Amino acid sequence: MLNYEFPPIGGGGGKAHLSLLRQYAGNSELKVDVLTSAPKPGFFKENFSENITIYKVGVHKKNLHFWRKIEVIEWLFKAKLHYRRMLRSTNYDLVHAFFGFPTGWLCYRTAKKLPYIISLRGSDVPGRHARLKVDYKLCGPVFRAIWKKATALVACSEGLKNRALRFLPSVAIDVIPNGVELDLFSPAQTAEEADALAARREPIKLLTVGRLSVTKRVEMLIDAVETLHRDGCKVHFTIVGGGAMQQKLKQIVLQRNLSSVIEITGRIDAEKMPQVYRQSDIFVSATMQEGMSNAMLEAMASGLPIITTRCEGLEELIADNGIIVEQPNDRDIAAAIRLLIEDRQAYKQMSAASRKRAALFTWSSVASRYIEYYRKILKNKKTGLQRSNICVA
């Protein structure tokens, strides 16, 4: 398995990979070597479980949540050497890569020797990502070549699949969604108790979680919260995450005298996040592009109603458990938040529906589907079938 980012580096893609490995641990059917990155130079080996070993290629990482181009190039150059060495020393059956690029480039170079699956995660699929528009244009031909040689392409949502097909309509893409650990992320109370608590609680606690980048449009959420605050709504907004926009967002909060209303915590350790969700009332998001949000799934499992702008990955997640704001602007976001503050019955129903819907997404089911994929690829490898014959029921 290959991934250029892995906790503590990166965001949702690394977290999803870690969750999948936890499901693979102890499975006698699998022997897994993971090649990924580390935030400081060197080469590190970690025994994750009896059947899983993680090898980390260290780079000169400046920010855990943001990849500079020079860091990507450094990782590719160093990882290539270790990847080739691993292939020479071990008779692998297949390789599973997270992200079509840069990770997928390593698989592409050895496609004649080893079949590979690519898990498309979001930023590796050309779209509306503000920071990567030029990169998408320059690297488009490389992306297409990598995808075409892959034995299988898997997107984490229907929305991401559709975006990928707009970029390259000729390939077959399946969908295996993200999962959530239901035992770890759970409501602090029953739906009725949570509703009664939120009704008494002042202020209402809003939460957003994610990498702080331009694409997440957190400033739009700040605008919405400011509107509510100026209108007399008692709210408190917690922004969890680090990234390139963190300092700018802190300056905005200070300049607008909103420090008593808005808190930017930076990144919080994973083991503390379940409690952060339980102490919140509503999860909000204004992201313009997403594969499938791990944070949104965690919030749902924690019984939080979701308010989000329209983006990919929502078809599977949001039904009667939240509000999708069709036109991304602070006024409509503020109106949606106000609706849930004022309509206690709607809040109660959405809270219960969030937990119920989250139960449809488990990492054990995700792992089972990927393992079934592995079996079919190996079977087809023996019989000489092409990718068009590979599918997941």
DSSP 99: S
Write the CA distances from 118 to 16, 33, 99, 375, integer angstroms: 14, 16, 6, 16
Q: Domain 191-358's class?
A: alpha beta
Q: What 3-state class would DSSP assign to 51? A: coil
Q: Using CA atoms, how far apart are residues 246 and 219, in angstroms rounded to an integer? A: 10
Helix/strand/coil (H, E, C) string of 360-374?
A: CCEHHHHHHHHHHHH
Dist. CA 167–CA 379, nearest whole Å: 30
Q: pLDDT-derived band of residue 387, with 50, 70 and 90 as boundaries?
A: very low
CATH superfamily of 2-179+362-389: Glycogen Phosphorylase B; (3.40.50.2000)
* pLDDT band, residue 263 (cuts 50/70/90): very high
Contact yes or no for 164/173 (Cβ under 8 A): yes
What pLDDT score does 131 carry? 57
| pLDDT band per the 50, 70, 90 thresholds, residue 193 | low
Residue % of the chain over a pLDDT of 90: 70
Rounded Cα gap, residues 10 and 43, in angstroms:
18
Q: Are 241 and 212 in contact (CB under 8 A)?
A: yes
Pairwise CA distance, residues 204 & 284, whole Å: 12
Place of tokens 């229907």: 158
Q: What is the mean pLDDT of residues 107-131?
A: 84
Would the pLDDT of 203 be above 90? no
Given a cut of 60, whether residue 350 has pLDDT beyond it is: yes
pLDDT value of position 190: 60
384 pLDDT higher than 80: no
CB atoms under 10 Å from CB of 154, counted, come to 22
What was the pLDDT predicted at 315?
83
Q: How far is the CA of 116 from the CAs of 95, 99, 236, 382, in angstroms?
A: 5, 12, 46, 15
In the predicted model, what is the mean pLDDT of residues 364-389?
A: 78
Interval 132-146 mean pLDDT? 79
Query: Under DSSP, is residue 101 helix (H, G, I), strand (E, B) or coil?
Result: coil
Higher pLDDT, 211 or 137: 211
- Residue range 131-156: mean pLDDT, rounded: 83
Q: Does the pLDDT of residue 202 top 80, yes or no? A: no
CA-nearest of 98, 180, 176 to 363 is 180
Question: How many C-beta atoms surround the C-beta of residue 372 within 10 A?
Answer: 13
Cα–Cα distance measured from residue 304 to residue 84, given in angstroms and rounded to the nearest whole number: 46
Looking at residue 391, its pLDDT comes to 31
Q: What average pLDDT score do residues 102-112 get?
A: 92
CA distance 81 to 230: 57
- Can you give the residue ranges of every domain in the chain? 2-179+362-389, 191-358
Q: Residue 227, class by beta-carbon neighbours within 10 Å (0-12 exposed, 13-18 middle, 19+ buried)?
A: middle
Q: Are residues 333 and 307 in contact, defined by beta-carbon separation less than 8 angstroms?
A: yes
Check residue 4 and report its DSSP letter: S
Indicate if the pLDDT at residue 153 is higher than 90.
yes
Q: Rounded CA gap, 268 and 270, in Å?
A: 6
- How many whole angstroms separate alpha carbon 258 and alpha carbon 260? 5
According to the model, what pLDDT value does residue 10 have?
Answer: 81
Same fold, 2-179+362-389 and 191-358: yes
38: pLDDT confidence band, cut at 50, 70 and 90? very high
Between 332 and 314, the more confident residue is: 332
pLDDT digits (tens, 9 = 90+) for 272-320: 999 999 999 999 999 887 778 889 999 999 999 999 999 887 888 999 9
Antiparallel, parallel or unpaired: β 235-240 and 262-266: parallel
